[in-house]
Structure formats: C-alpha cells, structure tokens
Structure 1
Amino acid sequence: MDDVEVPAFQRARRPEQRELRRQEILDAAELLLADLPAEEISLRELGRQLNVSKTHVVRYFETREGVFLELLNRQRLAWLDALSEELPEPPCEPEQAMAAWAGSLAARQVLCQLWSLLPNVLERNVSAETVLVYKLIDLEHRTRLATLIRDRVPALTEDDALTLTEYAVVSLVGLWPFSCPTPAIAEATADPRLERARVDFPVMYGEILKTTLAGLLARS
C-alpha cells in the first residue's frame, strides 16, 4: 500500500530516537540505491521502503537531496575507515598509493554515484544550513584523507595534500558518469575504433591521481 504508517516508526521524541530514525532512513536510501539511480528515488519512495508516509521522512530530512548528502557523508566516512587499511604501508611508491586509492573507491559504487551527483543534484533544493553542515564535514573528511596520503607520500606538503583531495573530487564528478554508460553508449563504443572512448574507472582515475600528484610534487 502507498504511504502506510506503522507503529515501529513512531515519531521520535528524544535525541537518540531522532538519530535512530535518521539512520533508518539512510539505510533505506542505501538499499534503494543498489537498484535505482539516485535521481529516481523520491521521498515518497523512501517512505514506501520504510512503510511510512512521506511526511514522516520530512520530519527528519528537509528534502531528498538532504538525505543523500548525509548518506554521502556516512559512506565517505566508512570508506576512509577502510582506506587506512587498504593503502600500502609507508614507505611506499607514490604511484602505488594512488592506484590503491582509485581501486578502493571503484569498489564502492554507491559512494561514487552520490559523490558524482554532488554539484548538479545533491547541492540543489537544500537550505544554506544543510549545505554548510555538509561542507564542514566534507572538509573534515578530506583533511583526514590528505593526512593518509601524506603518510604514504611525505614529500607532499600539507596544503598540496589537501589540494590533491580537491582535484580528486572534481575528477570523480566528471569521470564517474562516463564509466557507467547507458546500453546504447556501451553498444556504440564496442566499435574497435572507439576503444579510447571506453572508460575503465579505476585505471583512468588512478592515472589522473598519479598525474596530479606528480605535478604537485614537481611544483613544490
């Protein structure tokens, strides 16, 4: 049935209850993203997944984009926790660290999808307060990422390491959609003459990271 409310999702009164409800909504969004692109998931669809009304969801998130911004933060934090183990132990070759970074991200498709939608979808239809909270958490996460990279590449300055994370996000936003072609694009680029039009995300992203890192090291 559409928009059915159930006792299990009663309105939260205490802060810990509100946080539990928010996490349940994020869990539902994550499950839906396994089968649907973010653009096709509405607050109503999230409500259906939880057997509650759209109104219930709005009590905890102002918009669909607000849900996905917070899910992006949660996914990125989980990735950083894993990345500290997935990067090669220092000292290591800079190219090894960049390849590991690219491969680790490529294995997390929901994170890549959400991150790639950041400027054109997720940062629209949200309040300035929501964007501010997201941006501050993003900066905290990228600072942590920069520290992980500097541990592997000590020649990189603190400022350049943070710059590398900025370029890395912009590159992901541009590259990820090309690595997820529609059936028609995949069929067309199967033509041998268009071999270079086919995008292998971990390979190309790794090359972008390596080239950017080399440029930053050379400049410093």
Structure 2
Amino acid sequence: MEVPAFQRARRPEQRELRRQEILDAAEALLAELPAEEISLRELGRQLNVSKTHVVRYFESREGVFLELLNRLRLSWLDDLPGELPHGDPDQVMQACADSLAARPILCQLWSLLPSVLERNVSAETVRAYKFTDLEHRTVLAKLLSSRVQGLDADDAIKLTEYAVVALVGLWPFSCPPPAVVEATADPRLARSRVDFGARYGEILQTTLAGLLARRTL
C-alpha cells in the first residue's frame, strides 16, 4: 500500500513500510559513515522526522542495525548459491569469502554484533535476532554441505559458527584508521596489511580442512 512518507502508520502493512524505510535510511548512511557515528537523531534527520518517530518502530539504534543485519544477510544468502562453485573445497571457501568482501555494509554490521549491536536492546529483541541468525546459518550450512563433499550437517553448522567469529575478529583489521595505513606502508609490515577477502578465504579454507580431517580420524 502506497502512503505518504512517515504519515502515522496505523495498519500492520503501513508499519512494516515505515520500518523498511528506516532500514533503507540506515543502509544509505552506512555507505557514508561508520556505524558508531550514526545515531537515531541522524537517522531521523535522513528521513526528515524526529528521533521519537524512529523509536516508534525500533527500540534503539542497535535495534535498527540488528534488523538491517538480518535483511542484508538474507539478501546475501539469496545470491550466494549462484556465486559458489561445486567440488574443490578451497574454491568454495574462497568464493564465500569473496562474496562477503563484496558486501562491506553486511560485514561491518556483522563484525559489530557482540561489541555494539547486542547492547542497548531488550532480551526479546536479542532472542528474536538469535533465532533468525540460527535460521540463516542453517540455510548457509545446508548450502555448504551441498557444495563440499564429506561435510556433514553438524560440521557445516560448526563451520558457520567459526566463520562468524573469524569475521568479527578480522573485519576491523581490514578497515584500519589512517595512522595504521601510514604505519603499515613500511614493506617490513606487509603482513600487517589485511586484505579481507584473501585472509578470510585462508581462514575458511583452514577451518574446513580441519573439520574434514577430523572426520577421518
């Protein structure tokens, strides 16, 4: 249903439209600013409404980002089957890493999950997020199992768990502040410069190799 932007939403479909407009605004801001610099007031300014209006639909800035993380991850999972090869495990893992590297907003939000996004939100919001996360990782695990011979369901789920932990730790190192960029320009510090796609691919390949090797013991 088409209604004027941010007219008071009374019906469920109108409220959902408002929520999606807020998420659209958050995604647009994240293309320009780090998440830490985006407030509810800034989100409201982007939509020409007050901070209070945004709070009618999301309890906090972190609640907005959690929902956006869910939306971006689902979009990624919809696209991923067409981006993953069959067969060679290393190629599958590298393709997965490259696919995520091409989605920096998704990576940024995912990397902030434990330190920022799961704070200043209610237990109900976190619980809802966790169930959605589990649903999405189950989809990912089934896809990986279908592409990598010998990867069973249990190990595929473990792989998704390790993959998230690795992303949370690695992504900030791949987006350093200017002083770190300048310091690591020294050739002797070449290994300190992190290409996310390449390094994340190595981590996924090593993790998968370990899981597959353990099955043969």
Compute the TM-score of the two structures, normalised by the length of structure 2: 0.96
Query: Aligned runs of 1:123-162 on 2, under 5 Å?
Result: 123-162=118-157
**CA root-mean-square deviation:** 0.7
Which of 76, 81, 90 is 1:79 aligned to?
76
CA drift of 1:57 comes to: 0.3
Aligned residues of 1:189 and 1:195 also touching (Cα < 8 A): yes
The equivalent of 1:23 in structure 2 is 20
Gaps of 5+ in 2: none
The structure 2 residue matched to 1:102, chosen from 93, 97, 101, is 97
Deviation at 1:154, TM superposition (A): 2.8
1:3 aligns to what? none
2:214 match = 219
1:11 deviates by: 1.7
Residues 11 and 56 in structure 1, CA contact (< 8 A), matched pair in contact too: no
Equivalent position of 2:188 in the other structure: 193
1:147-201 CA distances to partner (integer Å, 9 max, x unpaired)? 1100111301101000000000000000000000111100000001101111111
Instruction: Report the secondary structure of 1:9's partner residue.
Output: coil
- Aligned length, in residue pairs: 212
Are the aligned partners of 1:176 and 1:201 in contact in 2 as well (CA < 8 Å)? Answer: yes
- % same residue: 79
Q: Which residue identity is paired with 1:28? A: A
Answering whether residue 10 of structure 2 is matched by residue 13 of structure 1, we say yes
Gaps of 5+ in 1: 1-6
Corresponding position of 1:65: 62
Q: Aligned AA for 2:48?
A: N
TM-score if structure 1 supplies the norm length?
Answer: 0.95
Please tell me the residue identity of whatever aligns with 2:128. Answer: V
